[in-house]
Amino acid sequence: MGLCYKVHQSRSWFYPNNNTRHWARITSNADGTSIITGIDATAVQDGDTFKFTNVGAFNASFGNQDVASTAANRIISPTGATYIIGPDESCEVIYDTTTARWRILYGSGA
């Protein structure tokens, strides 16, 4: 199932929970201020995954432990900093109920 979003500001993402893998196409604005601060973890189970693919012409960013999102919705980046995926790059997140955080599993970003 693909979900299409266009990111223009810092925000949390809604996780459409029906116990399947999800994929979202994202685009970002040209000034580089867009950042995904979290993903809604309501009713999410341990191991649920979500894949993001940047189909836009500009970088898309994922905040690391960004306080703009509720604690359980936050993302942990493998870099310990904002994680960036460029045009035509992807990353996948998994929900870890032990830490109550989304974790970036892999990606082509930095």
Q: What are the domain boundaries of the chain?
A: 2-107
pTM above 0.95, yes or no: no
Question: Which CATH code for domain 2-107?
Answer: 2.60.120
| pLDDT (tens digit per residue) in 10-43 | 444 455 555 455 777 787 767 666 788 888 888 8
d(Cα 88, Cα 101) in Å, to the nearest integer? 25
d(Cα 76, Cα 103) in Å, to the nearest integer? 5
